[in-house]
Chains A and B, each alone.
Chain A
Amino acid sequence: MSAATRQAVCAIARRRWLESLSACALIGPAMFLLLVLFILPAMAVLAIAATDWQFGARTLRFVGLQNFAQLLEDETFRRSFLNTLVFVGATVPVTVVLSLALALVIESGRSLRAFYRAVHFLPFMATLAAAAIAWEALLHPTIGLVNQVLGSFGVTGANWLRDETTVLPALGVIFVWKNLGYALILFLAGLKAIPADLYDAADVDGADDVIARLSTVTLPLIGPVAMFVLIVVALRAFEVFDTIKVLTQGGPAKASEMLLYTLYVESFEFMRTGYGAAIAVVFLAIVIGLTLLQARVLDRRVHYQ
């Protein structure tokens, strides 16, 4: 190697080093925030979940997986977990299908589109805690509007939020009401993104009735958006908390006990922080699982072109 080439190699190495230094400087701030706000707390939760720490206590003991073993035995947690699954399984399909149908109807009409969009989006903008109180009034067994209306048709309404059989469906309705507009907006955006040329081609090809257009163009092309909406709504359904805290506190008889509420009660009412952290780990696992699924599916399905 001659002196000149050695010098050139040194120059390249020096430039590489400078480049990696500036790269570190550029991702530094974001990395710091991610670390402080997300990664460290998540690791702390994992660590706390392996202890018997009680909130405010000065001592703690390492208990390994004992908290998780206890979760499996815990009737409240099992009930809570099952309720959450039922809630998610019922509300997510209803929200997705209903919002897609609404989006198709709004998009196919010419007039008042902005009005319909706004009306359906309003619940999503409302503070859920406040809206929950309005719902409580609506669902009041004697003076609530729902039962008054039912009564005028001769139907005796239930005590919606205090009845074990109706409390979960009632919370489900509130969830759908709240999230329909959000899913709707996403679907409307997705419908707008379908190239108009494809509908023209379908027209010329003879796929011009509603069913044929839906099956040839609309549904296949809205597929990736639908997948995204499905996962996002599912995440939101897993996180349901405000309505339970305000309206039912998990009752009656734990009929509306759900994961995030149980987590809150264990951690901040019973002060069993270690045990609460174990629930948080379960919750985190579900959320991360859904997010990974979303990333995988979207990676594969979005990029048609």
Chain B
Amino acid sequence: MAAIALESIAKSFGHAPVLKGVSLAIRDGEFLSLVGPSGCGKTTLLRIIAGLELQDAGRVAIDARNVDGLAPKARDVAMVFQTYALYPHMTVAQNLAVPLVMRRLSSLQRLPILGRLLPGTASTRAAIAREVREVAATLGIGELLGRRPGQLSGGQRQRVAVGRALVRRPSVFLMDEPLSNLDAKLRVAMRAEIKELHARLGVTFVYVTHDQAEAMTLSDRVALMMDGALIQIAPPHILHDDPDDARVAEFFGSPPINLVPAATLPPRLLAATLGRLGFAGSGLAGFGSADATAGLIVGIRPQALMLAPAGREDVLHGRLRFVEHLGADLYLHVDLAGVARPLVARIAPAEGQSLRPGAAVSLLADAAALLLFDAAGRRVRGQTGDVIIQLRERSGT
């Protein structure tokens, strides 16, 4: 049981800054995921919590205790590595026993033959063997105890790696992309097992992944990192529905959100969006016009787009580039005049059955679901005054 507090952690490798002052409070018993593209510093942050890497600046506290000077073994953390890092020359049972052997037996007692003669060794070893069997049984690897890692499948190795972390009942579980070496089907199955494990143990989990689906399904809260900085930390549905930043909106959700310059949208659609945010009749003259909205970016989730019924004016006219069939959904990729990337719309298969590439399509956007961002990618929320000022600054008036 432990909360983790990170205070302005900074780290560089050579001249390249990897972490630029990350502060993060992880609650006791929470499942927190660190996500981000490769190279964003999430693994480095995890290794700093573990004590495998030393930060250049900042403090790490586990359970309100400063652990900066402590070696990994003294921090009461366990870690599951991406490559599992099982000792290849040891059997599964020996692998699982290592953390206990290292903690409970003195270096003399660990000696191959002499150690067995020392008082207490035999009983301690017996206790360790019993605990190893228990952990193996809970993970369903009881019958593998005599095998070596080389004789196991990927999923089995993954279980052994989890078992080795589990066996000494740590207060913090650190996991570095533990599922990324598994095939897609196994990954989904193991995801559920990790979720159950967390529910059963109730200890703090810090989970690093680049897979947004993993982060969303497993976590109590998700922290999105980019370029060594924390962008937003929130529960998964907040990150998806109410992101603070265009990068957050882009990272979460599949297929990714459509980001479109406001100027290219039909005036009515834009007016409806702004109206929802409190702009209707606000006196901002010509608000639908191109120059006033030059810097604005509109985020439209694919599921907020639908095929428009005839006779509506606030629609997006485009040409269908291609269709992706995903069974339960159809993804329409639609080229819009003046927009570089095609818009993706997620619709029910029945609606788009007759559509062929090259066809003209009209899309209707759900104005209530649109997200507005300024040119720097910051979210523009519905405080009328702020947005007017921001927009005026941008248009130079």
Contacts and interface: CB of A to CB of B under 8 A. Distances in A.
A62 to B, nearest CB: 53
Interface residues of B, number: 29
Contacts of A217: 87
B148 A304 contact: yes
Given A204-B52, A204-B79, A205-B102, A198 B85 contact: yes
A206 B82 CA distance: 19
Nearest to A305: B150
Contacts of A305: 88, 149-150
A204 B77 CA distance: 7
Contacts of B52: 200, 203-204
Which secondary structure characterizes the binding site on chain A? helix
Nearest to B170: A204
A200 B78 CA distance: 11
Given A203-B52, A204-B78, A221 B107 contact: no
Given A208-B72, A305-B150, A200 B98 contact: no
A211 interface: yes
A206 B88 contact: no
A295 interface: no
A210 to B, nearest CB: 10
Contact of B102 (A207, A220, A221): A207
Nearest to A211: B107
Contacts of A201: 79, 81, 85-87, 164
A303 B89 CA distance: 10
B89 A204 contact: no
Contacts of B91: none
Contacts, number: 74
B378 to A, nearest CB: 38
Contacts of B50: 200, 204
A305 B148 CA distance: 9
A203 B107 CA distance: 15
Interface string B87-102: 1111000000011001
A89 interface: no
Interface centre among A195, A198, A201, A208 (most CB of B within 10 A): A201
A198 B87 CA distance: 7
Nearest to B81: A197
B200 to A, nearest CB: 22
Contact of B85 (A195, A208, A220): A195
Nearest to A207: B102
B72 A304 contact: no
A209 interface: yes
A203 to B, nearest CB: 5
A304 B107 CA distance: 26
Contacts of B148: 304
A93 interface: no
B71 interface: yes
A223 interface: yes
Interface string B294-311: 000000000000000000
Interface string B58-84: 000000000000011100011101110
Interface centre among B78, B81, B85, B164 (most CB of A within 10 A): B85
A291 interface: no
Contacts of B312: none
Interface in A160-176: none
B73 A197 contact: no
B95 to A, nearest CB: 9
B87 A220 contact: yes
Contacts of A203: 51-52, 71-73
A215 B82 CA distance: 23
B79 A200 contact: yes
B185 interface: no
A205 B98 contact: yes
A216 B87 contact: yes
Interface in A185-244: 195, 197-198, 200-209, 211-212, 215-217, 220-221, 223
B71 A221 contact: no
A3 B51 CA distance: 76
A266 B111 CA distance: 52
Nearest to B77: A204
A208 B70 CA distance: 12
A123 B260 CA distance: 68
Contacts of A202: 98
A1 to B, nearest CB: 44
Nearest to A224: B89
Nearest to B98: A205
B164 A200 contact: no
Nearest to A220: B89
A223 B85 contact: no
Contacts of B87: 198, 201, 216-217, 220
Contact of A212 (B81, B82, B88, B102): B102
A239 B51 CA distance: 50
B174 to A, nearest CB: 8
Interface string A52-77: 00000000000000000000000000
A8 B82 CA distance: 51
Interface of B: 47, 50-52, 71-73, 77-79, 81-83, 85-90, 98-99, 102-103, 107, 110, 148-150, 164
Leading 7 A-B pairs by shortest Cβ distance: A206-B102, A304-B88, A206-B73, A201-B85, A197-B85, A220-B89, A205-B99
Given A204-B72, A207-B102, A212-B102, 15 more contacts: A197-B83, A198-B85, A200-B50, A201-B85, A203-B51, A204-B99, A205-B73, A205-B164, A206-B99, A215-B110, A216-B98, A217-B87, A303-B150, A304-B149, A305-B149
26 contacts: A195-B83, A197-B82, A198-B87, A200-B52, A201-B86, A201-B164, A202-B98, A203-B71, A203-B72, A203-B73, A204-B50, A204-B73, A204-B79, A204-B99, A205-B164, A206-B73, A206-B99, A206-B102, A206-B103, A208-B72, A212-B102, A212-B107, A212-B110, A221-B88, A221-B89, A223-B89
